[in-house]
Structure 1
Amino acid sequence: MQLSPRNNAVIVNGNTVNGKTADIAITERGSDFYFAICAAMTVSGFCFIALAYRKQRRDRLFHYLTAAVVFVAAIAYFTMGSNLGFTPIHVEYSRSNPKVSGSYRSIYYVRYIDWFITTPLLLLDLLLTAGMPWPTLLWVIIVDWIMIITGLIGALVDSRYKWAYFAFGCFALVYIVYQLVWESRIHARAYGRDVERVFTMCGSLTTVLWILYPVAWGLSEGGNVIAPDSEAVFYGVLDFLAKPIFGALLIWGHRNIEPARLGLAIKDYDGDASVHEKQRPHNGTTNADATGNIPQASSAV
């Protein structure tokens, strides 16, 4: 029997979930694109891990954070390429365009699970580069989670109330953009020109791309304007630029920056002299037995 080279994920898994069928869903081409981005994410992750081994273990923080981002994204894109991780939601706006005509559209909740994990890691990459204090860092991550969760709720709502959640998410995004283009950028300047350069480069890329995500949301989950295949391309290109390309620029920018300069001095067992000092046997005139007791000299009878 000859194996077919075609991608049959859409046929095998189908568009029916929980008794509802999505008649506005990806085709084989959309599935192929999702799998292509999955491959790009996977290759990027292994490259970042390989580059990490050129650094001391205590200096691999940014490599590991960035590799985690693309590996999580790879799993999400494999899921979407397999036509899984979605639920059919009744569209608010019915369109006459045959590519988006129908009653139920595939909404990929797995995309938001990906973002819930990866966007805080991306913010960690940026805010740790800027040397921001931990309270600010944690608060920005909480605001980021608000943005992602409200986006997911809005995507799953089938009435005009979805746009209220969209507005909440946009307000959260405005605060994150403020942190990246103003407060954190100024903070990064204090650590030297090279730190400011890498933060400005990666922070500017993130800011521009993240502003485009609400546009993609409004055209796909929100307004049902573009087809799911076009949605795959829109989000896929944004994610590719925001994760593998961002990661490559960040790691390249950090090549000569030691994390200790940014307040990230991490101890390593191999380089910790105090640990080896404790393990080194001590030679003295008095020997202790296995229980730690000093043997007593026997008295003559």
Structure 2
Amino acid sequence: MAGGNQAVSVNPPDAQEHLSTNGSDWLWTVFSIMALSTLLAAVATIMRPRGTRLFHQLAVIVLTTASIAYFSMASDLGATPITAEFRGDETRQIWYVRYIQWFITFPTLLLAMLLATGLPLSDIVTTIFMSLVIVVSGLVGALVHSTYKWGYYVFGLVSLFYIWYVLLWHAPTSSFAAGGVVRRGYYLGAGYFSFMLITYPICWACAEGGNVITVTSEMIWYGILDILTGPVFLACFLWELRGVDYEAFGLQSGKYVDRNVVATRSEKVAPPAVAAPAAPAPAVLAPAAEPAAAPAPEQTV
């Protein structure tokens, strides 16, 4: 694996405020953590019986995406120079590959949490959409060099308030199909995840927004946050679900083959039809017997 010095030399930065060698070394460390976590999650997924791998597979999606993103950033790839606000004509590296990562991982994490609740599908879809609004608003705001970037920042904060409402108020009031064990774990996970969410806008305001901290400091800050909301959070989340009966979630496959199997099973267990009693045959009336003829009178000779 290439070190930070080699990565910055092979892929030289094109902005005045750019990633340092120490920053690249730190990103390689985060990439190693993400890659190792991906392998562990994949092994844990394979060891699970079929039909109980959904949440583990979502974890693999999150960690794989994060591994690719941090490989790119550690290699000093996936950034573009943008004129920094409050810095005159000085440019700063804006890492769009990080927002591509969040565009996939943020909704997936929310999906994993909300599937454990009793929320209807419409509420889950709306919450996921709001998470995409946050990511897109952050990316567009980071690419804007004027003060108009803070308008996108406000859009992201409003969407974040909606997600907090769903995670901390609306979802806990729903009926948890899997019972109290999942409800207790959800409270812990939702509180932890909601707290981590507020730290990202603070880092954005200090880094891409206000250009208060350097790019290397930005990488250290975001790297710690992504580790806490990625491998650490997912490990605790999956641990809480280790003994839960997945059939209680009501998650069924939509495959055509599975539907046929379900239909076949339902036919097998259906009660046999009771034949209706046959209608009685109409009675055939026998012809009335003729009266016997009277004996003829005897004749006298």
Q: What TM bracket, shorter-length normalisation?
A: 0.7 to 0.9
What is the aligned-residue RMSD (CA, Å)? 2.5
**In structure 2, distance between residues paired with 1:160 and 1:272:** 55
Gaps of 5+ in 2: 266-301
Alignment partner of 1:25 is 2:18: yes
Alignment partner of 1:81 is 2:79: no
Amino acid at match of 1:14: P
Cα 1:11/1:194, change in 2 over 3 Å: same
The structure 1 residue matched to 2:35, chosen from 42, 46, 59, is 42
Secondary structure of the corresponding residue to residue 169 of structure 2 = helix
Residue 286 of structure 2 aligns with which residue? Answer: none
State the Cα deviation string for residues 85-109 of structure 1 (Å, max 9, x = none): 00001011129xxxxxx70000000
Q: State the 1:267 CA deviation.
A: 8.2
Residue 132 of structure 1 aligns with which residue? Answer: 119
Cα 1:183/1:191, change in 2 over 3 Å: farther
The structure 1 residue matched to 2:231, chosen from 244, 248, 251, is 244
Amino acid at match of 2:27: Y
State the Cα deviation string for residues 19-57 of structure 1 (Å, max 9, x = none): xxx111111111111111111111111111111223211
Q: State the 1:215 CA deviation.
A: 0.2
State the Cα deviation string for residues 165-220 of structure 1 (Å, max 9, x = none): 00000100110011111111222556422111221122111101111000000000
**In structure 1, distance between residues paired with 2:101 and 2:45:** 23
Cα 1:133/1:271, change in 2 over 3 Å: closer
Gaps of 5+ in 1: 17-21, 96-101, 279-301
Cα contact 1:31–1:82 (8 A) shared by 2: yes
Alignment partner of 1:12 is 2:5: no
**In structure 2, distance between residues paired with 1:88 and 1:41:** 26
RCO comparison, higher one (Cα < 8 Å, 6+): 1
**In structure 1, distance between residues paired with 2:165 and 2:175:** 14
Mapping 1:148-297, distance limit 5 Å: 148-187=135-174, 189=176, 191-266=178-253, 274=261
Q: State the 1:133 CA deviation.
A: 1.3
State the Cα deviation string for residues 43-72 of structure 1 (Å, max 9, x = none): 111111111223211110000001110110
Residue 277 of structure 2 aligns with which residue? Answer: none
Alignment partner of 1:142 is 2:129: yes
Secondary structure of the corresponding residue to residue 129 of structure 1 = coil
**In structure 1, distance between residues paired with 2:175 and 2:30:** 32
**Normalising by the residue count of structure 1, what TM-score does the alignment of the two structures yield?**
0.82
What is the total number of aligned residue pairs between the two structures? Answer: 265
**In structure 2, distance between residues paired with 1:192 and 1:8:** 53
Residue 66 of structure 1 aligns with which residue? Answer: 59
Larger displacement relative to structure 2 (243-252 or 185-194): 185-194
**In structure 1, distance between residues paired with 2:77 and 2:122:** 37
Q: Which has the larger radius of gyration?
A: 2
**In structure 2, distance between residues paired with 1:123 and 1:208:** 14
**In structure 2, distance between residues paired with 1:63 and 1:88:** 37
Alignment partner of 1:119 is 2:106: yes
**In structure 1, distance between residues paired with 2:112 and 2:174:** 14
Residue 291 of structure 2 aligns with which residue? Answer: none
Residue 282 of structure 1 aligns with which residue? Answer: none
Secondary structure of the corresponding residue to residue 94 of structure 2 = strand
Larger displacement relative to structure 2 (259-268 or 124-133): 259-268
